[in-house]
Structure 1
Amino acid sequence: MEAVIETIGRAILAFTIMMIITRLLGKQTIAQMTYHDFVAAITLGALTANLAFNLQIKMAQLIAALLTFSLIAYLLMIVSLKNRYLRKWFSGQPTLIIQNGKILEDNMRKLKFSLDTLNQELRERNIYNIEEVQFAVLELNGELSILRRAEYLPVTRKDLKLKYNKRQWFPIELIMDGKIIHHNLKQNQLQPDWLMELLNKKGLRLDEVNYAVKNSNGKVIFDLYDDQMSNPIDKE
């Protein structure tokens, strides 16, 4: 029983430490898995697992190793931000795969990037003809960024000289889980009374609203708990 309690305690501690480390390393580490991020993630994951379940190794030793590797990952991130040459070595750099519509076989060979993989990446972006591609770049995180040739780019309202609303706002969440998000209202110079007046005009109570957002064109959208759907698709 003591071993079970110790394992639970160590697991909670390991999870807490990893949450703190992840917050310190920042969102970029999660979103863009570069070379040193990949190595750090594997190492920290193994150490965290041992901290949670390996009762034969002292907790203090595992925490010391975990903090050491976290410090190394953090220092590498700082150095990469400040030094462009070291950043290339630690994180790698984007590589052209297609240039002016021509596949760069040497670059693909260096990256171990096959034609099958290239075709799959293109199809996932609804490109089935290689002639549509002007440039393709393999980014640091392994994603393929593509620029189509001008004649294959989608037509916009500006191209057609159609009228459109040039002024747009960032969507503002007003209500979530039936509760007013006062911070968002205050940050955007909106008053709770204004929101309650909107609810009254719609004949709604606050506790009936699951989610409300002021979208990019200034219109307020309400999503209710009761969607009045007789046969929801995902309901058993």
Structure 2
Amino acid sequence: MQTLIALFGEGKDLSALQMGMRAGATFFAALVLIRISGRRSFGQRSPFDYVVAILLGATLSRAIVGASPAAPTFIASLVIVLMHRALAWACVRSRALELVVGGVERQLYRDGNFNERQMLAALVSRADVLETVRKELGTDALDRVQSAILERNGEISIIRKAHALD
């Protein structure tokens, strides 16, 4: 036990070596927690998934700097990850819960018309849609666009008109 205290320190009065050891241990603990959480947490990046990333960062940083004891910090982090995993599992099985937690797609533009109501609800401007069209099609000519959809992850998807694929 004394060896662990010498390596990792106690409380807030830590040496550079002890903080380095804590950072290394926290890195591996975070890696394990992220693997438990699954790809969803850091792949698709919905607001639901960002919660885990933010909370893990905030919680685990306390273990590195000695602001909180390491073991309770890791347990709290595990609880966050397991709650995320359980909620994700429940969302897969319940469309209603998925809509509450993950949100819905919004049709911003279709067949020459902007949907002002959906754009206002999503706080997306015409300029945002045109920017995405320019990035994806290399032009801001909407005559090549069938629809623009704000995805649940915040990205705008552009669906080209069938004749615009040529």
TM-score by length of 2: 0.84
- For 1:52, the equivalent position in structure 2 comes to 64
Q: Is the 8 A contact 2:33 2:77 kept in 1?
A: no
**Segments of 4+ in structure 1 off by > 6 A?**
none
Q: Contact (CA 8 Å) 2:131, 2:140: kept in 1 or not?
A: no
Distance apart, 1:59 and its partner CA = 1.4
In the other structure, the counterpart of 2:44 is: 32
- In the alignment, structure 1 segments of 5+ residues that lack a partner are 155-236
Task: Tell me the CA shift for residue 104 of structure 1.
Answer: 0.6
Q: CA deviation at 1:28?
A: 2.8
**C-alpha separation in 1, matches of 2:126 and 2:92:** 33
Distance 1:120 1:5 in 2: 48
- The AA in structure 2 aligned to 1:113 is V
Q: Which has the higher contact order (CA 8 A, sep 6+)?
A: 2
* Partner of residue 125, structure 2: 114
Unpaired stretches in structure 2, ≥5 consecutive residues: 1-5
Higher strand share: 1
User: Aligned in 2, Cα 1:33/1:19: closer, same or farther, shift over 3 Å?
Assistant: same
Is contact 2:42–2:53 with CA below 8 Å preserved after alignment?
A: no
The letter of the residue matching 2:33 is I
Whether 1:61 aligns to 2:72 is yes
Is the CA contact (8 Å cut-off) linking 2:129 and 2:148 kept in structure 1? no
Whole-Å separation in 1 of the counterparts to 2:103 and 2:139? 27
Decide which structure has the larger Cα Rg and report it: 1
Distance of 1:26 and 1:59 partners within structure 2: 23
Q: Which has the higher helix share?
A: 2
State the identity as a percent: 25
Per the TM alignment, residue 56 of structure 1 is displaced from its structure 2 partner at its CA by 3.2
Instruction: Pick the aligned partner of 1:42 from 21, 35, 54.
Output: 54
**Rounded Cα–Cα distance in structure 2 between residues aligned with 1:101 and 1:25:** 42
Task: Describe the SS at the equivalent of 1:73.
Answer: helix
Q: CA offset at residue 76 of structure 1?
A: 1.1
TM-score normalised by length of structure 1: 0.60
CA distance in 2, matches of 1:56, 1:79: 34
Q: Distance in 2 between matches of 1:148 and 1:129?
A: 11
Give the direction of change, closer, same or farther, for the CA distance of 1:132–1:35 in structure 2 (3 Å limit).
same
**Paired residue secondary structure (2:76):** helix
Residue identity matched to 1:82: R
Distance, in Å, in 2 between the alignment partners of 1:25 and 1:69 is 9
Aligned residue for 2:116?
105
Matched pairs, number: 153
